[in-house]
Amino acid sequence: MDRIKELISKMTLEEKASLCSGADNWHTKEIKRLNIPSVMMVDGPHGLRKQEGETDHLGLNESVKAVCFPAACATASSFDVDLMERMGETLGAECQAENVSILLGPAVNIKRSPLCGRNFEYLSEDPYLAGRMASAYIRGVQSQGVGTSIKHFALNNQETLRMTISSEVSERALREIYLPAFEEAVKESAPRTVMCSYNKINGEYASENRYLLTDILRKEWGYKGCVVSDWGAVNNRVKGLQAGLDLEMPYSGGYNDRQIVKAVQEGRLDEAVLDEAVERVLNVVFAGEEQHRPEDISDKETDHKKAADIETECAVLLENNGILPLNTDRKVAYIGEFAEKPRYQGGGSSHINPFRVVSALDAAGEKGRSVTYAKGFSNENDSMTEQELEKALRTAAEADVAVIFAGLPEIFESEGYDRTSMKLPKCQDRLIEEVLKVQPNVVVVLHNGSPVELPWADRRSISVAELIRPNLQSGQIDPVIVGTLSVSSVVSCSFFCIYIDVELFALKAFRLCIFLNSCFKVCNCDGCLKNFKCDAAGLMIFYSVLNFFYYFWCLGCYSLCCFFYCFYSFLSCRCFLNFFYS
C-alpha cells in the first residue's frame, strides 16, 4: 500500500487520469516510467473469451479456443456450491495459463422475467441461491490468483433499452430482492472488482449513483476493491468518479481522461477523490501482476473432462412418465438438429469459442449404440420443410422411442435483446405434436437458458417425458437418458406453463388500474389500489372488458366506461370491503 501511495505521489495529473480508463478493449493502461504494468481482463463467466486479433465486447469477433463450461442457468440448477467452486478453480487456472488477471463474472442479476435475453448467464430468481453460488464461484477463481468482476451492479434485469432504461424500485424491493446476492458475494468472497450496470436506477445512471457505489457498496458492505464500468456504461465521467466509479472500460479515446483533468483544474473535482480511484485501480493491477504464474500451462483435455462432469451434475428431469431410463436394446430415434449441432451457450459477450463440442449423436456413436437420426427442423431459426417433417415422422414411427432435441435457437435468446414470448419456434411445436401422433414413447430434450412454453406437455395418455438441460452440450445427455447417472438437480427459476402465469403480466394489468385511477380520480381511498388483489385470469377478463368499453368510449359513451371503472374501483376499495364484512 505504501508503495502504491508513493507511486501516486510521483504521478502527473494527466497520468492519474489516464489510469482511470482502459488502454483498449481489454487492458488497463501502463506507465512505463513508473514501472506500472498493464493487465488483461476477459469476458466470462463460463469460459475465457480472450481475443488476440481484432477485439470487441459483444462476442462478434473470434476468440481463442477455450473450454466451455455450463452457463449459470445450468450450474445454479445443481444447487451445489462445492461444484461451483471447483469450476471456478479450473477457470482461474485457465486464466493463469492465458495471462489473464480478471475474469468478468459471475453475473448475478435476478431473473425478474423469463423473457430476459440474458437469463442464461444469470444464476437465479432467488437472491439467496444466487448469492451462495456467486460466492463459491468467486472463491474458486480467486484461489488461483485471478480476480473476478461480479456484475452487473445493479438492477440490470432486461436487455431492451438497457443503455437508457431506468429501473424504478422501492427501497424494500432493492434490499430484499435485487441487492442480497451482491451483498453476500461481496462480504463473503471479496471479488477483486465490481462491475456497474448500464441502466439508470430511479432516474440516475448506475455509473453515477453514489448511493449505490459508495453509500451501500463501500460504507455499508465494507468493500475495498475496484469498481469498473460495464463496457460503454459511462455517461458523465466526472460525476461517475465522484460517485465511486474507479475504472472506465473500454478506452474512450482520451476524451474522458481530459474531462477529469479539466474538472480537477477548475476545482469541480477534488484531486483526493482521483487519488483514491487510482489507488484502487493500482491494487488490481499489482495483484494481477504479482500473482501471475507464467509457467502455468492449461490442460484443455483434462479441463474438458471436468466441464463434462459438471454438466452431467446440472441436468434436470422435469417429468418422467416411465420412459426413462432407456433400455439400450431398444431402437431409438434422435430427431432435431440440436442432436447433431447442440446449442450449449448463449449469444453475446459470453460466447466461447469451444475447444471441443460433443453432440448427442457423437456420444451415442462413441458408446457403440446405433440410433437413427432425422434433422426435422433447423437449429438456427424457425424453419422446417415438409420433406424434413415427413422424414422425421417416418424415423419416429419406425423406432421404439423418439428422442426430440428441441430448444431455442441463438437468434431467440442472446445478450442485447429480450425474447418476445416464451414459446418455442413454431416448427418445433408442430413437429413434436406430429411425432406424438405416430410414436407414443417420446422424450423431449430441451436446449434453453430460460423457461419455455410446452403446449404438448399435458399429453399424459401417450407418455411424454420432458428433460431440460440448460445450456449443456448434447453429448452429456447420454448418461441421463440411459440411466447411468441419477438426475438430482432442479430448475433454479420458476418454469411457467404459459406466459400469462408470470407475475409481471399481472403487474401490467395492475398498472393499468393505477393509470385509470389517476385519470378519473374516482376513489380517494389510499387502501383502494394498495390492496388490489386479483389473479392473472381475472386481470385478463378485466383487460378484455376494458377493451370492449374502450370502443364505446371512442363512440362517445364516456359515461358508461366511467361507470364501469367507478364500480370496479368501489369493489376493490378497502373501505367497501370493511363495510361489507362489518
Q: How far apart are CA 76 and CA 113, in angstroms?
A: 17
Q: How far apart are CA 343 and CA 407, in angstroms?
A: 8
- Looking at the annotation, which residues are catalytic? 230
Q: How far apart are CA 487 and CA 502, in angstroms?
A: 27
C-alpha cell read off for 114: 423469463
Alpha helices in 143-270, H assignment, sequence order: 171-173, 180-189, 210, 237-243, 255-265
Q: How far apart are CA 471 and CA 100, in angstroms?
A: 25
C-alpha cell read off for 538: 381475472
Are the CB atoms for 19 and 9 separated by under 8 Å? no
Q: How far apart are CA 400 and CA 170, in angstroms?
A: 55
If you search the block for the grid coordinates 463460463, which residue do you land on? 46
Write the DSSP assignment of 293-309 as a string of letters: -TT----HHHHHHHHHH
Q: How far apart are CA 464 and CA 436, in angstroms?
A: 8
Within the chain, what is the greatest distance between any pair of CA atoms?
82
Q: How far apart are CA 319 and CA 335, in angstroms?
A: 19
Write the DSSP assignment of 161-182 as a string of letters: TTTT-EE---HHHIIIIISHHH
Residue 33 CB-density burial (10 A; 0-12 exposed, 13-18 middle, 19+ buried): exposed
**Secondary element (H or E) of residue 549:** helix 536-554
Are the CB atoms for 114 and 424 separated by under 8 Å? no
Q: How far apart are CA 463 and CA 228, in angstroms?
A: 51
Cβ neighbours of residue 528 under 8 Å, at least 6 residues apart? 517, 569, 572, 573, 574, 575
Nearest-10 crossing angle of helices 536-554, 503-520: 40
